Structure formats: structure tokens, C-alpha cells
């Protein structure tokens, strides 16, 4: 508990982001950083594993604070269907609010060779672009250790992506932190803000919005490809 609030809550999330603004951190999308990298920067990455509704709730807090971030959405999620009308509206609202949207790819679910991977990623990129109504430039891996194909710079170029979120250009000289499994890995975001002027933070909306009494069970489902 922090100031009477659970560590992972929307109210505490807003407090942490407000503190970052007070400390003069700039929040950039991944594409924004590629074009004009700032020195004191936080790159907020949101992997939308469970719910676009949860993602939108984080986005609304960030938008109110004038903060930019990047949301990576799935096409093979168990818990939500990106093609549902309500989720298409949420996706387009994210874009309208100025957030970047990328693909949370799941090649590991398919037995593919390199050529099949290029076709799959290209088709998924076009599909999300059609739903979104604008170009898609970034990709992030869901369970990257299970990747069947490496997202090399050459493969990225052939599929039309400009970057992958785990690429060295973003991690170089930056502290990487994550709230995976509802536990901070390496440092909390507040601790990282005291240690470095460049932070790459992977924040999963489900841990801050969802009422998850047993995180381990959800992590197990996600690990099974859910």
C-alpha cells in the first residue's frame, strides 16, 4: 500500500506519472523517439494482453497529463477480439487521442519458416492498419523467448515495420523495467526515475485496472498462449 492505495492501482499510476512530470521527464512514443530522441525520457510500452478497455483507462489518465505512450495490440488473444466493433472503437480512440499503436506479434503460435513469417506479419500489419485507419510502424513480441523466427532488421524491412520494441536502439543506456506478473522487475518506475534519465517501462494495463486476485493463474493462462 502507498498512501493508503494499492501499489498497482489507477490512482497510484496517476501519482507516479505526475511525479515524473514534476521531475521534468519527457514521455515519447517509440516512433517519436526514433525521430527526435530526448535526453531525459520515459518510453512507456503497454502490452495489451487481456483487455482494450483496460488499456483505454490507462490512456485516459496519460492523456489528461499530456503524456504519450505506445500500445501493442494482439490479434490472437484469448481474452479479447480486436475485430469486435467495441474494440475497433477503442483502438481508434487511442489513435485519436494521439497514442501510438503497434502489433504485439505471436509468431510462436504458428509453425512457420522465414517466408511464412514475412507473409503473416505483413498481413497482420495491414489488418491492424485497416482497423486503425493509419500506418503501423512498431512490433513487439508476446513471449519473445518462444519466438520461432527472429525479428531481424532484414525481416523488419521486408514486412514494413520500422522498429521492434525490444531493439537495441531503445534499450541502449536505458533502464528497462517491467511490471510483469504484477511484480516490478529490476526496479519500480519510481526507483528507476531516481537512477536514470532514460527509462524503458513495460506497463501492462491488466495489473493496474483489472481486479486480479490471483496473478499467477492469469500468468499461467497467458503462458499457454491465451
CATH of residue 68: 3.20.20.370
**133 within domain boundaries:** yes
Under a CB-based contact definition with an 8 Å cutoff, are residues 49 and 74 in contact?
yes
What's the pLDDT score for residue 223?
59
Residue 64 belongs to domain spanning: 10-223
Q: Grid cell 532484414 — which residue?
A: 154
CA separation for the pair 76, 82 (Å, rounded): 8
pLDDT at 125: 97
Cα–Cα dist 10/12, whole Å: 5
pTM of whole model > 0.85? yes
Number of structural domains, the chain? 1
pLDDT tens digits for range 161-209: 999 998 777 877 889 999 988 899 989 999 999 999 999 999 999 999 9
Is residue 1 in a domain? no
Closest CA to 199 of 181, 223, 174, 219: 174
| pLDDT attached to residue 217 | 60
2 domain residue, yes or no: no
Query: What pLDDT was estimated at residue 212?
Result: 61
* Length of the chain, in residues: 226
Q: Identify which of 171, 141, 143 has the alpha carbon closest to the alpha carbon of residue 156.
A: 141
Positions of the chain with pLDDT under 70: 1-5, 111, 144-146, 210, 212-226
Model pLDDT, residue 219: 59
Confirm whether 3 is domain-assigned. no
Q: What is the pLDDT of residue 131?
A: 95
Cα 31 to chain center, whole Å?
A: 13
Q: Bridge-partner residues for 43, per DSSP?
A: 28, 200
Pairwise CA distance, residues 32 & 41, whole Å: 11
Residues with Cβ within 8 Å of residue 134, at least 6 apart in sequence: 95
Is 201 within the bounds of a domain? yes
Amino acid at each position: 500500500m502507498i498512501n493508503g492505495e494499492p501499489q498497482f492501482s489507477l490512482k497510484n499510476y496517476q501519482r507516479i506519472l505526475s511525479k515524473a512530470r514534476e521531475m521534468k521527464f519527457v514521455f515519447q512514443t517509440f516512433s517519436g523517439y526514433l525521430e527526435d530522441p530526448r535526453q531525459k525520457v520515459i518510453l512507456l510500452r503497454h502490452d495489451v494482453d487481456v483487455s482494450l478497455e483496460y488499456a483505454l483507462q490507462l490512456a485516459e489518465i496519460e492523456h489528461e497529463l499530456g503524456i504519450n505512450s505506445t500500445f501493442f495490440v494482439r490479434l490472437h488473444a484469448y481474452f479479447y477480439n480486436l475485430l469486435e466493433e467495441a474494440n475497433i472503437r477503442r483502438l481508434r480512440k487511442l489513435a485519436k487521442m494521439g497514442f501510438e499503436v503497434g502489433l504485439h506479434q505471436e509468431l510462436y503460435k504458428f509453425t512457420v519458416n522465414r517466408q511464412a513469417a514475412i507473409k503473416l506479419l505483413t498481413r497482420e500489419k495491414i489488418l491492424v492498419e485497416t482497423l486503425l485507419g493509419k500506418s503501423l510502424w512498431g512490433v513487439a513480441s508476446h513471449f519473445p523467448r518462444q519466438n520461432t523466427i527472429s525479428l531481424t532488421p532484414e525481416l523488419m524491412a521486408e514486412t514494413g515495420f520500422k522498429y521492434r520494441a525490444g531493439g537495441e536502439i531503445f534499450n541502449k543506456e536505458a533502464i528497462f523495467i517491467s511490471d510483469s506478473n504484477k511484480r516490478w522487475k529490476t526496479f519500480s518506475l519510481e526507483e528507476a526515475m531516481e537512477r536514470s534519465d532514460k527509462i524503458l517501462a513495460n506497463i501492462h494495463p491488466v495489473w493496474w485496472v483489472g481486479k486480479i486476485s490471483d496473478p499467477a493463474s492469469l500468468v499461467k493462462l497467458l503462458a499457454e498462449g491465451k
